[in-house]
Structure 1
Amino acid sequence: MDTYIILRKPEEPRPRTREFTTRTFGLTRGISASPQLTVERVPSHAIVGLKKDPQVLAVTRTMPTKLIHPFASTQASTSEAWGIPAVNADTSPYTGDGVTVAVLDTGIDATHPAFTGVTLEQKDFTGEGLNDTDGHGTHCAGTIFGRDVNGTRIGVARGVQKALIGKVIGDSGGSSEMIFKALQWAMNSGANIISMSLGFDFPGLVNRLVKAGYPVELATSNALESYRGNLRMLDAIMHTFSAQSAFGDSPVVIAAAGNESRRDVSDDFKIAASLPAAADNVISVAAAGKQGSGYGIAAFSNIYPRVSAPGVDVLSAWPGGTLKSLDGTSMACPHVAGVAALWWDYALKTNAVSASALTTAQLTATASAQDFSNEFDSTDYGFGLVTSPR
């Protein structure tokens, strides 16, 4: 028997009455039960019947996941986080106050001065403990909501008071079930913005199966089926998020497009955005860098993103109370999450009907492509570089 992730329909939402209302996302709403996500051992002959069950939304094998690993900055690191003014966060009157952000990554150095005063709700999905032994999650969180460190600003949305930190990648990697469980946890815990700088490891799964004795063709076929199944599972979860809009605002989910392209090797060496960035209703992010008086897209950045953000020579928090510069779409993704928090703050202060709808719309409507070099187009940068509300 193989191990499968199964997503089943939730129970019918409880009626919107005085007894069954709750204050969530700044709105009073009815309570909607979440879909049931389980991991079960199922015999292969039972899978077809399981998929036909009207209560089952999606079924898939588990799949390995990994960080979208950043690169050590190739530029001389500055003492400033240039991404803050690039997205106009330095001139925005909004701070992210009242917005809850979830970071699904390698954890966080909760003792770092960049997170002083922030309420951090942490949950480990890896079984390895809460500590951020990699530093990746700390760096991403610092860009989203980090406070100033020794007079240096690193955070886009410095007014965020509460963050949900889900550790879904450990020293031995992670699995898709960890991400799916963390997404549900973030949703149920009141996240408004969810940031993910990670990817589903298709090549890693192929290699694992080959090492287990599978012929390459069979290993590739099985890995492709798992990839398809996990895409459908992620789409199903995202659709349940959207369904929550009937009861209040659903989270805006943002993910790094990936670092597999190699434009420095060949102009044609471009890889499309991977999972989870390629899933329905996920805002995928490309990495931009300074180029002359404007911007360019990093050689490693995957194509077909929704938007772009600073992802080269990004200065942010690093375990041990220090700061470090890194390159990657992993660094661009939290810039967009931070700007999203500012737009959500704007929505709350202007009494928008739907903060999530306004935030999603404004991220693309206000993105600017005018400062990108002519060698790049929308397949490289999407709608353009995100900008903050003014």
Structure 2
Amino acid sequence: MRKYVIIRKTEAAVGGANRGIESTSPDRGPSVLYERLTDQAAATLASLPEVKAIAPAMAIKLIRPFQGSSSATGDVWGLQATGASTSGFSGEGVVPAILDTGIDPTHPAFAGVDLEEEDFTGQGNGDVLGHGTHCAGTVFGRDVNGLRIGVARGIKKALIGKVLDNSGSGDTQTLEDGVSWALRRGANIISMSLGFDFPGMVKSWIDDGWPADLAASNALESYRVNLRVLDAVMSLTKPRGGIHGGTLVVAASGNESKREQHPNWRIAASLPAASDEVIAVAAVGRRGEGFVVSDFSNSAALLSGPGVDVISAKTGGGLDTLSGTSMACPHVAGLAALWWEATRRGGRIPTAINVRSALIGSARREGFAGSDAEADIGQGLATAP
């Protein structure tokens, strides 16, 4: 049995075979439903006229970071490079949502922050892996032992959606539920350092005895259907008239490239970063007085953020140094919070559109290695107002 995602053409029930299927977002059309089915039952459902598409729910996974090479008491260079350390804005009044592995709410970096936690994995709140804690620390963490780690330290409320379980895994349903919840709870910005696990989907079919070529075909079909689900969810983040400014979504581009082995061994950003409504973030590090794209960072990003030797909060207390596009993404989410506040204080109503434009328009291109193409760094390093 597998968990299938079903897209219905109408709100009509899908015959008797849909017993137990529940819509996670009844306000959206086409309806997206989930059910654990045998492959045969799924084939039967696919033949019904009410069913627009059906495929296994795509697995999502943590974009696993690398251990940093510098001390956790060293230089928080990303805050200086982006101008966050000297910005006159703090993210006050902005509500971010971190969709990740959860958070350690007892960490001193989050003292005084109203954390609204919601678990979508069935394993309870908290952060066993520490990934979500590290990301949240970069977005809005308070100083720890005199060291500044947070980009937007004026944030007073944050939404923490646990969409990845204690092994770092989830699926389309946990992600959809998390995004829908964040939107209902009024998130201005959503930060996601996770990605679709296409290789894992292929492997699951092979493990079930399918030939490799057919397994890849099945995984591609699942990817196609799940992309439609993701696009439908992301469409809800757009501004709606004058009553809702929309929600800006930022996601890590992924760590699968291998430039250290060959300069051409780079792959494009994975979903959800590759979705049209999402800012895909590449990771850059320091090289002398300038910057260079990280060997692992996926291409086709829109913006870059500091993603090498990033110091932030560690589950259980203290600090840790990690590298990855997972670390670059929350830098840009924090910078978006600064721009959101700056736009409001400038007399304009902040929206996902004008804050996105401000981030892109202020991106820094100087200081990069000449070999770093736009495909690698996007519009450049995101900076603070």
Same fold (TM over 0.5): yes
Displacement of 1:3 = 3.8
Tell me which residue corresponds to 2:50: 50
- Cα distance, 1:342 vs structure 2: 0.5
Instruction: Tell whether 2:248 aligns with 1:252.
Output: yes
After superposition, the CA RMSD in angstroms is 2.1
Give me the whole-angstrom Cα distance separating, in 1, the residues matched to 2:54 and 2:208.
Answer: 23
Q: Pick from 92, 95, 105 the counterpart of residue 90 of structure 2.
A: 95
Corresponding residue SS for 1:90: helix
Q: Which moved more, 1:370-379 or 1:2-11?
A: 2-11
Instruction: Render the CA deviation track for 1:128-177: whole Å, top value 9, x for unaligned.
Output: 11120000000000000000011100000000111000001112421111
Structure 1, unmatched stretches of 5+, are: 12-31, 53-57
1:263 aligns with 2:262: no
Letter in 2 for 1:382: G
State which drifts further: 42-51 or 214-223: 42-51
Distance 2:108 2:50 in 1: 49
- Residues 70 and 321, structure 2, Cα contact 8 Å, conserved in 1: no
For residues 276 and 227 of structure 1, do their structure 2 counterparts lie closer, same or farther at Cα, with a shift above 3 Å needed? same
- Displacement of 1:235 after TM fit? 1.2
Candidates 265, 269, 273, aligned match of 1:273:
269
| Shift, 1:50, TM fit | 3.2
> What's the secondary structure of 1:164's corresponding residue?
strand
2:102 partner letter? G
Deviation at 1:217, TM superposition (A): 1.1
Report the alpha carbon displacement of residue 243 of structure 1 after superposing the two structures with TM: 5.7
How big is each residue's C-alpha offset from its partner over 1:174-195, in whole Å with a ceiling of 9 and x where there is no partner? 1111001100000011000000
Matches within 5 A, 1:111-190: 111-172=106-167, 173-190=169-186
Tell me how far 1:245 sits from its aligned partner: 4.8
State the Cα distance separating 1:318 from its structure 2 match: 0.3
CA distance in 1, matches of 2:115, 2:278: 24
Alignment of 1:347-358 (within 5 A): 347-358=343-354
Partner of 1:338: 334
Q: 1:360 aligns with which of 356, 371, 385?
A: 356
* Corresponding position: 1:210 with 2:206: yes
| Partner Cα distance (2:219, 2:346) in 1 | 47
| C-alpha distance 60-100 of structure 1, shift in aligned 2 (>3 A) | farther
Q: Does 1:239 align with 2:235?
A: yes
Distance 1:208 1:7 in 2: 22
Answering whether residue 290 of structure 2 is matched by residue 294 of structure 1, we say yes
| CA displacement, residues 258-301 of structure 1 (integer Å, 9 cap, x when unaligned) | 00000000011101100110011100000010011100011000
Residues paired across the two proteins, number:
364
Conserved 8 A contact 2:239-2:351: no
* Contact persistence 1:198–1:330 (CA under 8 A): yes
- Cα 1:66/1:385, change in 2 over 3 Å: same
Identity of aligned pairs, percent? 50
* 1:321 Cα deviation from its structure 2 partner: 1.3
Superposition deviation, residue 218 in structure 1: 1.2
Question: Residue in 1 aligned with 2:5?
Answer: 5
CA–CA distance in structure 2, aligned partners of residues 10 and 322 of structure 1? 51
The 8 Å contact of residues 10 and 34 in structure 1, kept in 2 or not, is answered as: no
Match of 1:321 among 307, 317, 331: 317
CA pair 59-235 structure 1, distance change in 2 beyond 3 A: farther
The equivalent of 2:19 in structure 1 is none
Q: Give the Cα–Cα distance (whole angstroms) in 1 for the partners of residues 10 and 164 of structure 2.
A: 27
> Residues 338 and 59 (structure 1 numbering): CA distance in 2 closer, same or farther, change over 3 Å?
farther
The AA in structure 2 aligned to 1:211 is: D
For 1:65, which of 60, 63, 67 is the aligned residue?
60
Shifted more, 119-128 versus 80-89: the winner is: 80-89
Answer yes or no: is the 8 Å Cα contact 1:257–1:277 preserved in 2. yes
Query: Which one-letter code corresponds to 2:43 in the other structure?
Result: S
Structure 1 distance, partners of 2:281, 2:50, is 35
Q: Structure 2 vs 1, CA of residues 249 and 92 (structure 1 numbering), >3 Å: closer, same or farther?
A: same
Q: Aligned in 2, Cα 1:109/1:368: closer, same or farther, shift over 3 Å?
A: same
Post-superposition offset of 1:368 = 1.0
Superposed, which structure 2 residues align to 1:105-116 within 5 Å? 105-116=100-111
- TM-score, normalised to structure 2, is 0.90
**Taking structure 1 as the reference length, what is the TM-score of the superposition?**
0.88
Moved more, 205-214 or 333-342: 205-214
- Kindly provide the amino acid, as one letter, of the partner of residue 98 in structure 2: V
